[in-house]
Structure 1
């Protein structure tokens, strides 16, 4: 079977499409024929060597976290799925491995594919959808009548975060680039700010939650936008940021929380329900597996709206 690996840290040129043996699977796992895999910023941070503490430095390594596919075979202890089921799921975020014709996955890391989604759309759900759920429901605890600022609202997580925050009854201000103004309004944002025309650090409104998905807004700047007892959520879990946020949260009413994705079976099931209930899944572009380097080079430039997906089968 085909599988994408890399043997050293670097840019997208380190990615290689190789021939490998079909993986074996144990009694609690499924063998899945992969249909599509989404591209996440964490992918190039890992193969670029920025996350060595979490990913380790032993090669070869694999890439690709979330996927859609069809169950090929099941282990003897698997009870929730059968061969032929269409599913979504995700692998270890720091080890990857979804960019392959076949993968072995734990039953707990998989959910049935939403009926109303294509395989390409479904592959875009797990990582960014679970991230948005965790941010909105657990870290920011967004509720009715709250004011929420989402900086970087047209990225993969941002699209879902706008939609879910709206469903929780919040008023959402989306910060986007020029290409995303009309899109963010269409997704349901109450207010849309084009960051090329307005410096959000200077706006008068104050928010119950400030969510930075662009990695460009510091906690220092975010504090000026926050109500006295508000939450700032960022998505870069560096050791320094973790220590700094811990110390701040001991003494300040303005909290700084950092997303560390914790996938759950219930979360995947919630995503499936949301997707079947109309959650918007925005695809920027799809690529064949043979164009994996081009896919990552273009995605890493940060100009896409929504998600890019690699079609495997």
Structure 2
């Protein structure tokens, strides 16, 4: 089988498509024939060496976190799935390995694919969808009639965060580029701010939750946009930021929360049910496995509307 791997940290040039043996499975595992794999910013942060503390520095390493596919084999202890089932899932966010023709997983790593969603769109669900759920339901604890600001609302997480926040009854202000205005309105945002025409820090409003998905707005800058007992959510974990958030949250009513994705079976199930009803999945572009370098290069350098995925044969 083919698998994307790398033997040193660097840019997209370190990614290699190599031949590997199809992995064997243990009695509590399943072998999945991969149909599509989502591209996530965390991917290039890991292979670029920015996340060494979490990913380690031992090579070779693999790429790709979330995927869709078909169950090819099951171990004797597997009870929830059978051969031929269509599934979505995700691997360890710092180790990857989904960009391969086959992956070995545990039952807790996967969920049934939403029946009404294509394999390409389904691959875009797990990482960003679970991130959005964790941000809206846990970190920000968004509820009815709360005012929520989502900065970077048309990216992968933003796509789902806007929709889920609206489902929770919030009033959503989405900050986007000009090309994202119509999409944000379509997803249900009550107010849309085009940051090319209006600076976010000049908004004359305060919010119960400020969610920064662009990595451009700092907690210090966001404080003027926050109500006295509000939450700021960042998607940039680092030891220093985690320490600062711990100290800040002990003494300040304005809380700093940091997303560290914690996948769960319940989360994947909730996500699947949302996708089977009316959760919209938007694909910016699809790529073939042979164009993996181009796929990551374009995704890293350009603003993506929704998600991009790599489709396997």
Alignment-derived partner of residue 25 in structure 1:
25
Alignment-derived partner of residue 199 in structure 2:
199
Q: Does 1:137 align with 2:132?
A: no
Q: Return the offset for 1:302.
A: 3.7
Q: Does 1:86 align with 2:73?
A: no
Q: Does 1:56 align with 2:53?
A: no
CA–CA distance in structure 1, aligned partners of residues 243 and 195 of structure 2 = 30
Query: Deviation per CA, 1:64-99, whole angstroms, max 9, x where unpaired?
Result: 000000000001100000000000000000000000
Q: Return the offset for 1:218.
A: 0.3
1:154-169 superposed matches below 5 A: 154-169=154-169
CA–CA distance in structure 2, aligned partners of residues 302 and 208 of structure 1 = 31
CA–CA distance in structure 1, aligned partners of residues 242 and 27 of structure 2 = 37
Unaligned runs of 5+ in 1: none
Alignment-derived partner of residue 255 in structure 1:
255
Q: Does 1:117 align with 2:117?
A: yes
1:154-193 superposed matches below 5 A: 154-193=154-193
Alignment-derived partner of residue 69 in structure 2:
69
Runs of 4+ in 1 over 6 A off after TM superposition: none
CA–CA distance in structure 2, aligned partners of residues 301 and 266 of structure 1 = 34
Query: Deviation per CA, 1:96-134, whole angstroms, max 9, x where unpaired?
Result: 000000000011110000011000000000000000000
CA–CA distance in structure 2, aligned partners of residues 62 and 129 of structure 1 = 22
CA–CA distance in structure 2, aligned partners of residues 6 and 178 of structure 1 = 37
CA–CA distance in structure 2, aligned partners of residues 172 and 137 of structure 1 = 15
SS at 1:300 equivalent: helix
Query: Deviation per CA, 1:192-222, whole angstroms, max 9, x where unpaired?
Result: 0011110110111100000000000000011
SS at 1:230 equivalent: strand
SS at 1:220 equivalent: helix
SS at 2:301 equivalent: coil
Query: Deviation per CA, 1:147-189, whole angstroms, max 9, x where unpaired?
Result: 0000000100000000000000000000001110111111110
Aligned length: 313
Alignment-derived partner of residue 103 in structure 2:
103
CA–CA distance in structure 2, aligned partners of residues 303 and 149 of structure 1 = 20
CA RMSD of aligned residues (A): 0.5
Alignment-derived partner of residue 279 in structure 1:
279
CA–CA distance in structure 1, aligned partners of residues 203 and 76 of structure 2 = 58
SS at 1:208 equivalent: strand
Q: Return the offset for 1:274.
A: 0.1
CA–CA distance in structure 1, aligned partners of residues 51 and 301 of structure 2 = 19
- TM-score w.r.t. the length of structure 2 is 0.99
CA–CA distance in structure 1, aligned partners of residues 105 and 50 of structure 2 = 26
CA–CA distance in structure 1, aligned partners of residues 218 and 172 of structure 2 = 20
Q: Return the offset for 1:39.
A: 0.1
